[in-house]
Structure 1
Amino acid sequence: MSGIDVNDILEEFETTSRNEISKSLYSENLYEELITAMINERMSPELLPYKKELLNQVLRRISNQQQDLLDSHEYGEINAESGVVSTDFKLQLMIIETDIERFNYLVRLYLRTRLTKLDKYTIHYINETVGNGKILLSPEEEEYIDQHFKILTKLYNNCFLKKMPSSLTLLDDTTGGQSMIEIPDTESHVFIKSITKSTIFVTLDDGEELNIENEGIYVVKYSSIKRYIEIGDIVLI
């Protein structure tokens, strides 16, 4: 292969790498959105609606970057001995790898947080998602919670429920003034921050009105500001 051909290939790959760095900078908005979704999920006492569009964008970006990184590494290995692979090129690949890892970490944390809530409030979220048209779970989460409940029911039956009267074996029994279904405590207090320029007015339990200003940080009941979290005017911190 001639020197000109090598230089052409090098220029093409380094241009691609520079484009990937530009994409990484451009992806900061996507990264910030993912951080917000993850923190909201972790700080919320209940399961929030699954961020389908955001996760699709993030996973598509991770997949594209992984493929670009694989192609770039193959090029680097082929041309390592020729000395045409610059230090800048290697640094750019490291930046891309770091970008992939930070997105992967946030996605895992987001999904694990949701699975923890599904494990704890299994029956509650089965009831919440059956026939109400509300997109709360991803298809994978729906399958997970269904299988989790089946395993849980089988375990309890084998351990002790089969020895009890049939009237006492229902895991979703709500009779007798005592519910067997554990539900999230939406009346708990949370730390919030307003990210909208408009003032938000929240009525407190004592009848007084709280004015939530832009960039202000407050401690309020989750149930009082839930709808503002869903529309994105308030974030949890």
Structure 2
Amino acid sequence: MDIDDILQEFEESTAKQYQSTSASIQQDLITAMMNERMSPELLPYKTELLNTVLTHISNQQQFLLDSHEYGEINSGNGIISSDFKLQLMIIETDIERISYIVKLYLRTRLSKLNKFTIFYINISNDDDDSEYLSQEEKDYIHKYYQLLTSLYNNCFLKKLPQILTFLDDSSGGQNMIVEPDLNQFVFVKCITKDPIFLQLEDEELELIENGVYVIKYNLIKRYLEQGDLILV
């Protein structure tokens, strides 16, 4: 086997391996991002998926560095094909695409943490629901709450009676803690082959594979967690 055959085999195997891995990771990441964006509440943090994605990005960045170095060394010999250079450009584009989806996923979660700060602080203090937030999100939300409390105190809370300064006050029939609206209507797509039957107020709704429906979030929450439905 001469050098041309070795290079061709390397290029083909690299392209197939990357396309298969990248496509699978991107699809899982897009699903997680769409579910997070369309859900009225914060969904459990995808720890395993994010670790896999970040490792994949790091590996591909290292691969690009090695490949570019290899290309610079051998470019003068004429043994680097234009297809190989094109594959590197495709990999660079895919890395940028995956990185953008990761940022969109994390920014969506941060916007919910900002909106429902005290609610999720209470959840983060509950060991049973610790999977909802990553450690970085837990650190962020506590620091954010400290800054928010300091701002409110300096602006107006210090001028009020002490009994009116609690941001988490729920006395008098008025809850100061803003919570996600789980009765919000969402678009869902059924992806399981087995039909799902939902009991509504006066009828039963059947969700079939590939069907798209508009329904209250709290009715489909457990099926979303099981992976039988996705939000669209």
TM over 0.5: yes
Aligned to 2:76, what secondary structure does the other structure show? Answer: coil
Matches of 1:44 and 1:213, distance apart in 2: 21
Aligned to 1:133, what secondary structure does the other structure show? Answer: helix
Name the CA shift for 1:126/1:85 in 2 (closer, same or farther; >3 Å): same
Map of 1:4 onto structure 2:
none
**Superposed displacement of residue 82, structure 1:** 3.1
Q: CA RMSD in A?
A: 1.7
**Superposed displacement of residue 150, structure 1:** 0.8
Map of 2:164 onto structure 1:
168
Aligned to 1:197, what secondary structure does the other structure show? Answer: coil
1:143 is aligned to 2:136: no
Matches of 1:23 and 1:58, distance apart in 2: 15
Name the CA shift for 1:163/1:203 in 2 (closer, same or farther; >3 Å): same
Q: TM-score, normalised by structure 1?
A: 0.91
Aligned to 2:194, what secondary structure does the other structure show? Answer: coil
In the alignment, structure 2 segments of 5+ residues that lack a partner are: none
Name the CA shift for 1:49/1:120 in 2 (closer, same or farther; >3 Å): same
1:177 is aligned to 2:177: no
**Superposed displacement of residue 49, structure 1:** 0.3
Q: Which of these residues, 63, 76, 82, is aligned with residue 77 of structure 2? A: 82
Matches of 1:115 and 1:20, distance apart in 2: 36
1:18 is aligned to 2:12: yes
Map of 1:52 onto structure 2:
47
Contact 1:21–1:92 (Cα < 8 Å) also in 2:
yes
Deviations 1:27-74 (A, max 9, x none): 212211111100000000000000111111111111100000011111
Contact 1:13–1:72 (Cα < 8 Å) also in 2:
no
Greater displacement, 90-99 / 41-50: 90-99
**Superposed displacement of residue 16, structure 1:** 4.5
Contact 1:21–1:96 (Cα < 8 Å) also in 2:
no
In the alignment, structure 1 segments of 5+ residues that lack a partner are: 1-6
Letter in 2 for 1:125: Y
Name the CA shift for 1:166/1:19 in 2 (closer, same or farther; >3 Å): farther
Q: TM-score, normalised by structure 2?
A: 0.93
Deviations 1:170-218 (A, max 9, x none): 11111111111111111010010100011111111x2311111111111
Contact 1:190–1:219 (Cα < 8 Å) also in 2:
yes
Letter in 2 for 1:73: H
Matches of 1:59 and 1:49, distance apart in 2: 18
Matches of 1:123 and 1:29, distance apart in 2: 36
Matches of 1:160 and 1:196, distance apart in 2: 53
Q: Which of these residues, 104, 109, 113, is aligned with residue 104 of structure 2? A: 109
Letter in 1 for 2:84: F
**Superposed displacement of residue 26, structure 1:** 1.4
Map of 1:191 onto structure 2:
187
Matches of 1:34 and 1:127, distance apart in 2: 28
Q: Which of these residues, 203, 210, 215, is aligned with residue 208 of structure 1? A: 203
Letter in 1 for 2:96: E
Contact 1:49–1:137 (Cα < 8 Å) also in 2:
yes
